[in-house]
C-alpha cells in the first residue's frame, strides 16, 4: 500500500467557463458520494481538510501577493490523501473526481519514504 496526494485544480476566474449555481449545487452530492466511496474502502489516508479561498503567494522575488493564483489561471480547489496499491489504482480512483465535470484536473503524486 502506498499513499498518494490528489490535488484538484480548476480555473476559477474565466467567467465564461464557470459552472452555474445549479451545477455547483449538483456537484455537492457528487463530491460527497465520491469521497464517501473512497472512505468506504478505507482508503482515506488522512482526514479531510478544506482550504479557504483567499491564499497568498510568495513569488520568486520574495514578494507576497494575494492568492490563490500563481502564474496559471488554475487554482487549487482542494487536496486529499488516499491509500492505493500503485499509480494505476490511484488513477482509477481519480477518474471519479467531480472536478473533472467542472472543467478541472487532478494531479497525482506518490508519497516517498525516507529522510527529508
Partner 1 sequence: MEESQLLPNLFRTEYRKIVSVLCYLFGIDNIEIAEDITSDTFLAATELWSVKGIPENPTAWLYTVAKNKTKNYLKRNSVFEQKLSVEIKHTANKSEEIEIDLSVKNINDSQLAMIFTVCNPANSTEAQIALALNLLCGFGIQEIADGFLTNKEVIYKRINRAKEKLKEANIKIEQPTISEINNRLETVLTTLYLLFSEGYYSTSQNTILRKDLCAEAMRLTFLLIENPTTNLPAVNALLSLMCFHSSRFDARTNENGETILYQDQDETLWNQELIEKGQLYLVKASTGTNLSKYHLEAGIAYWHTQKEDTPEKWQNILQLYNRLLILEYSPIAALNRTFALAKTNGKKEAIIEAEKLNLTNNPFYYSLLGNLYTDIDNKKAIGNFEKALQITNSPADKATIIKNINLIR
Residue ranges binding partner 1 (CB under 8 A): 29, 32-33, 35-37, 39-42, 44, 47-48
Q: Measured from the CB atom, is 12 or 31 closer to partner 1?
A: 31
Residue nearer to partner 1 on the CB measure, 29 or 109? 29
State how far the Cα of 30 lies from the Cα of 8, in Å rounded to an integer: 14
As measured in angstroms, the least distance from the Cβ of 88 to partner 1 is: 14
Residue whose CB is less far from partner 1, 40 or 112: 40
For residue 61, count CB atoms less than 10 angstroms from its CB and return exposed for 0-12, middle for 13-18, buried for 19 or more.
Answer: exposed
Least distance in angstroms from the C-beta of 73 to partner 1: 30
Q: Considering the complex, what minimum distance in angstroms separates the CB of residue 38 from partner 1? A: 9
CA distances from 6 to 22, 62, 81, 84 (A): 25, 28, 6, 11
Other C-beta atoms lying within 10 Å of the C-beta of residue 37: 12
Amino acid at each position: 500500500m502506498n499513499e498518494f496526494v490528489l490535488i484538484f485544480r480548476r480555473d476559477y476566474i474565466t467567467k465564461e467557463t464557470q459552472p452555474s449555481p445549479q451545477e455547483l449545487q449538483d456537484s455537492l452530492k457528487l463530491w460527497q458520494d465520491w469521497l464517501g466511496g473512497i472512505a468506504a474502502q478505507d482508503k482515506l489516508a488522512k482526514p479531510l481538510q478544506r482550504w479557504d479561498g483567499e491564499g497568498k503567494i510568495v513569488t520568486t522575488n520574495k514578494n507576497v501577493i494575494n492568492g490563490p493564483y500563481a502564474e496559471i489561471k488554475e487554482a487549487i480547489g482542494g487536496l486529499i490523501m488516499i491509500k492505493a496499491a500503485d499509480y494505476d489504482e490511484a488513477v482509477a480512483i481519480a477518474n471519479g473526481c467531480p472536478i473533472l465535470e467542472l472543467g478541472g484536473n487532478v494531479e497525482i503524486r506518490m508519497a516517498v519514504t525516507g529522510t527529508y
